[in-house]
Amino acid sequence: MNEVYINRVSKFLPNDPVSNDEMESYLGKINNQASKARRIVLRNNGIQTRYYALTKDGLPTHTNAQLTAAAIRNLLDDDFKAEDIQLISCGTSSPDFLMPSHAVMVHGELKNGPSEVNSAAGNCCAGMNAFKFGYLSVKAGNTHNAVCTGSERMSSWMLADHFNKEVENLKELEEQPIIAFNKDFLRWMLSDGAGAMLLENQPKGDFPLRVEWVEGYSYAHELDVCMYAGADKQQDGSLKSFSDYTTEEWLTQSIFSVKQDTKLLDKYILVKGVESMKHAMEKHAVGPEDIDFLLPHVSSHYFVDGLYQGFADAGIEISRSKWFMNLRDVGNVGAGSVYLMLAELLQSGTLQKGQHIMLCVPESARFTYSYAYLTVC
């Protein structure tokens, strides 16, 4: 087995940062009315700016594949060219199409010659799953290098126009023309962007990061779905797929909108996060003192204090001085968030050889968690 090193990390954020007060000018107002949930959600999540692949008229400026390809191009130079890429492994929860897969569309944008591709579906852990596929490929000697990515383009899913047909239907039924909180909630949480890593079997550059291990845990066997799209939740907790609805219902019930069961989120996201983190650390004999930087992907600052206290109560307290986050400035970029954090940490100039970095990514979709432990070389 080979050692695996992250030799380069890059990011791409589209257009200019969007402030809280500007959000509705990009996304639009449902039923021409300002959202009642917006201020509450923004006050709790602590996000001040985010990025949209949109104009102020709500027109797209980039596809997800284009965002991802731009991040990959930021990895390239004369020493590592596009044609040198042996594997492209991409993760996202917001692909441009149901098919073809996201990774082949990224490959099509790059036009870098023949390459193996892999698409990791899901939600926030999709970026980590793409990373793990690349890590295992290089470790096993299947490829000498791998480019792994995490990206999102959720802004186009959150445009007001996608919900107006449902509002019209509610009016016809003489019901309140207000979109349910589980849909409106996420309109003020999500952001666009992409990150990329170059993995190789030899260390290169100023601060290569050796990948010590990558772990993943799913709790779908015991917990119901929490975050979903292209479906609706039934009273018994099961999901009914878009393919089992009529095309009219797709519009009148906003079936393709992203929805979140906030009660389930609040009840389990931290509990299972602490449980899985403790399990990963014990499995690999890593203690809090062995972590110099913790990069936790959290969807909202609302969860930070609870996560810290959960770690402390479980005997794995990690000093807040070690936490490195960028949620306030770039927003929740889902599968791309941990890539963006790592890119910013590398650019910060604070790393020293011998230090250790823990990547920590929860996914609320059906409660999945991913971790990676890196050594600065």
Flag residues of the chain having pLDDT under 70.
Answer: 170-180
Nearest to residue 152, comparing CAs of 258, 31, 21? 258
> Looking at the structure, do residues 48 and 154 belong to the same domain, yes or no?
yes
Does residue 94 belong to any structural domain of this protein?
A: yes
Does residue 179 belong to any structural domain of this protein?
A: yes
The confidence score (pLDDT) of residue 33 equals: 83
Does residue 243 belong to any structural domain of this protein?
A: no
> Looking at the structure, do residues 11 and 92 belong to the same domain, yes or no?
yes
Rounded-to-integer distance, Cα 212 and Cα 210, Å: 6
> Looking at the structure, do residues 312 and 167 belong to the same domain, yes or no?
no
The confidence score (pLDDT) of residue 40 equals: 87
Does residue 249 belong to any structural domain of this protein?
A: no
For residue 53, the domain's CATH number is 3.40.47.10
> Looking at the structure, do residues 32 and 151 belong to the same domain, yes or no?
yes
> Looking at the structure, do residues 180 and 67 belong to the same domain, yes or no?
yes
> Looking at the structure, do residues 186 and 274 belong to the same domain, yes or no?
no
> Looking at the structure, do residues 195 and 118 belong to the same domain, yes or no?
yes
DSSP conformational letter for 221: T
Give the chain's domain count.
2
Does residue 250 belong to any structural domain of this protein?
A: no
Rounded-to-integer distance, Cα 294 and Cα 321, Å: 9
Tokens of 270: 């931290």
Where is the domain boundary, 177, 205, 233? 205
Q: How far is CA 287 from CA 152, 158, 283, 308, in A?
A: 33, 41, 11, 15
> Looking at the structure, do residues 195 and 324 belong to the same domain, yes or no?
no
> Beta-strand (E) ranges in 271-341?
293-296
> Looking at the structure, do residues 171 and 288 belong to the same domain, yes or no?
no
The confidence score (pLDDT) of residue 186 equals: 86
Does residue 251 belong to any structural domain of this protein?
A: no
The confidence score (pLDDT) of residue 365 equals: 96
Q: How far is CA 149 from CA 71, 129, 131, 292, 351, in A?
A: 8, 10, 7, 24, 22
Does residue 314 belong to any structural domain of this protein?
A: yes
Where is the domain boundary, 162, 178, 205? 205
Nearest to residue 316, comparing CAs of 355, 278, 262? 278
Rounded-to-integer distance, Cα 324 and Cα 342, Å: 9
> Looking at the structure, do residues 138 and 24 belong to the same domain, yes or no?
yes
What is the domain range of residue 356? 213-218+261-376
Rounded-to-integer distance, Cα 347 and Cα 341, Å: 10
Does residue 158 belong to any structural domain of this protein?
A: yes
pTM across the whole model: 0.95
The confidence score (pLDDT) of residue 68 equals: 98
Where is the domain boundary, 140, 172, 205? 205
